[in-house]
Structure 1
Amino acid sequence: MNTRILVRRAKPSEAEALSALALRSKAHWGYDPDFIARCREALTVTEAMIASHDVFVAESSGRPLGFYVLKAGPADEGVLDFMFVDPVAIGQGLGERLWRHAVQRAAGHGYKALRIDADPHAEGFYRRMGAVRVGEVASTVDPGRMLPLMRYRL
């Protein structure tokens, strides 16, 4: 990316903007509008989520271009619950930058691994980052739809 990017902790007041970014990012992959509408609840970022988890935003000139949500998982595992890049910034290295930041945060929490319930379109990205597919998990939006379950050892 040519512009200066700042990765910082999200503010509760950004919940609505981050939710909209997540939906734009999901829609970028060609999903039909009905599916995107069904994703709205699952992709909603709340003020409570921002207050209780590691939520970090990548911004340029005050505009959020991507974000992730890192939560505690079982035992010594972290869960990368959300990771989205605005379509205007896809393919410019922002996802990798957010990934590296999330990995550093996870290591700082003492996690030994990251779990990712990945969108099928994101599986290749996570593989390039070093994650491996360890199974499948049912979508919370369409239970009959299976998603790649990825794991990254820290």
Structure 2
Amino acid sequence: MTIEKANTIDHEILTEITKKAKAYWGYSDEQLVKWSNNLTITQDYIKRNDVFKLVNNNIIVGYYSYFSEEEKSMKLDNLFVLPEYIGKGFGKYLMTDFLNRMKEIKIEKITLDSEPNAELFYSKMGFVKIGEFETSIKNRFMPIMEMNLI
């Protein structure tokens, strides 16, 4: 298993991983179509952001991406694994790599907007809920989470 910098040619498989992982949580096909633009990873997105893919037996099974919010602060924008790898340590493997990368470059704070169903995962990894916002689905709230590294 390796984590490598994603290439622009990876955009379609990363989009597929994102959409399949989102569908894992039981959202309707109609809702997933509404979110299609937000769940699409473009070549331009890969050029503009830091994107790292998880490769297992020559297959991309997950990825994470992030960008700088302000000095010494990063936003974890995406962290997804294919549904058949959820609950098997692959997400934790990606998160550990991400956190080590942030420590190496002396980032002090990480924020993220969590999929509501993934809040427990992020909590177990050390993130704390600092707020929430309502999504396009009535009464569905996305937790805003934060981790201080100093």
Is the pair's TM-score, using the shorter chain for normalization, greater than 0.5?
yes
- Show structure 2 runs of 5+ residues with no match: none
* Aligned residues with identical type, % of pairs: 29
Superposition deviation, residue 47 in structure 1: 1.2
Change (3 A) 1:109 1:53: farther
CA distance in 2, matches of 1:17, 1:96: 20
CA distance in 2, matches of 1:143, 1:71: 26
CA distance in 1, matches of 2:30, 2:137: 16
What secondary structure, in the 3-state scheme, does the structure 2 residue paired with 1:73 have? strand
CA distance in 2, matches of 1:106, 1:56: 13
Match of 1:52 among 48, 58, 74: 48
Note the alpha carbon deviations across 1:82-139, whole angstroms, 9 max, x for none: 1101001111100001001111222233321110100100000000001000001343
Match of 1:123 among 111, 116, 119: 119
Provide the TM-score with structure 1 as the length reference: 0.90
CA distance in 2, matches of 1:124, 1:39: 23
CA distance in 2, matches of 1:133, 1:47: 31
What secondary structure, in the 3-state scheme, does the structure 2 residue paired with 1:8 have? strand
Match of 1:152 among 140, 147, 150: 147
Code of the residue aligned with 1:134 in structure 2: it is I
> Conserved in 2, the CA contact under 8 Å of 1:115 and 1:149?
yes
Work out whether 1:68 is the aligned partner of 2:61: no
Q: Which residue of 1 aligns with 2:27?
A: 31
Note the alpha carbon deviations across 1:46-105, whole angstroms, 9 max, x for none: 112212221011111221111000111133210000110100111110000100111122
CA distance in 2, matches of 1:42, 1:121: 18
Work out whether 1:87 is the aligned partner of 2:79: no
Aligned residues: 148
Deviation >3 Å, runs of 4+? none
